[in-house]
Amino acid sequence: MKVFSAVTFVLLVACVRGESAVTDGLSVEDMLDRCMDGRHHKTQPGPEGSLYNQCAPWKDRACCRASTTEQLHQPLWLNFDWHHCGQLSESCERHFKQDLCFYECSPNVGPWLVPVNMQIRNERFAGVPLCATDCNRWWTACKDDMTCSGNWGVSWNWTSGQNTCPHGAECRTFQDYFGTPSNFCRNIWNGSFEVVDDSAPCFTQWFNGTNPNDRVARLRAEEIVSARGGAVTSASAPRLLVVAIFIAMGLAMGLDFLN
Ligand SMILES: *[C@@H]1O[C@H](CO)[C@@H](O)[C@H](O)[C@H]1NC(C)=O
Ligand SMILES: *[C@@H]1O[C@H](CO)[C@@H](O)[C@H](O)[C@H]1NC(C)=O
Ligand SMILES: *[C@@H]1O[C@H](CO)[C@@H](O)[C@H](O)[C@H]1NC(C)=O
């Protein structure tokens, strides 16, 4: 009984938490002033005197620190080995570094944050609209390089402390694993990006000067708030009810699960 109720407790909490988006209840400005809750991210975006090498474009307003940008240019940032099927080409590696700068530094992903439960972070971004041109360049740089996975977000053997190819996962070209640029950009990080036509509001990982993604994030944040309309309270009511029922259950069980 104790084990059962402890499990129920965990599942219920996960369920209640899982339903809520990180953006719930946030104003447009709050969504635009957020950094991902990750191991190396700052709590809020702000200026950095200078950022290292490929991360420099984010220096005016960044979620990363200078030290982070220097370290992520070294191998095995977050214990992740890009070269799991031999060395990536230099141009492909440059794109993955830029993507890493975006991951650590971008102050624009607030509207796309969702909760996750991982060692390296409590949030991830999902479905960030990447411009087709950006995606195509990344793909062109990498398509003839080798990998053993069509989803770098999930399919690894981490036993050794860094990602290695699990038994049976063959090293083949990106072309073989992903087929098309949009499959590649969508699946490489388990749905972190989706690819949209350049004529729609979309993100680029490459820019100089003013961050062009600011405008795109604001549009999305405004969309989220206006879609909410007056439904905020009624949308959170069922969740509160679940919590209330659950607390009542817990009390009825004499809080067994806490023992
Ligand atoms: C994972 O790697 C370890 C060695 O680090 C190996 O012993 C194990 O068999 C591997 N498991 C899979 C599923 O590949
Ligand atoms: C991968 O994406 C799926 C679908 O969005 C999600 O359910 C899963 O938790 C994700 N896995 C990781 C490790 O991010
Ligand atoms: C940014 O500036 C660098 C150096 O001048 C240049 O090589 C690069 O093409 C520029 N990138 C963009 C996206 O404008």
| Distance from the first to the final alpha carbon of the chain | 11
1-5, 94-98, 209-213: range with lowest mean pLDDT: 1-5
Kindly tell me if the per-residue pLDDT of 189 is higher than 80.
yes
DSSP 248: H
In the reported structure, the alpha carbon of residue 190 is separated from the centroid of ligand 2 by a whole-number distance in angstroms of 6
Q: Which element (helix H / strand E) includes 31?
A: helix 28-32
pLDDT over 90 percentage in the chain: 65
In the chain, the DSSP E strands lie at 113-115, 123-125, 128-131, 146-147, 172-173, 193-196
Neighbours of 243 (CB within 10 A): 13
Kindly tell me if the per-residue pLDDT of 176 is higher than 90.
yes
Residues in CB range of 74: below 8 A, 6 or more apart: none
Please check whether residue 63 is in contact with residue 43, taking contact to mean a CB–CB distance below 8 angstroms. Answer: no
Q: Whose CA is nearest to atom 6 of ligand 2?
A: 190
Q: Given ligand 1 and candidates 156, 167, 170, 171, which is best to mutate, with the most ligand atoms within 8 Å of its CB?
A: 167
Tell me, what's the pLDDT at 76? 86
Tokens of 204: 């680029």
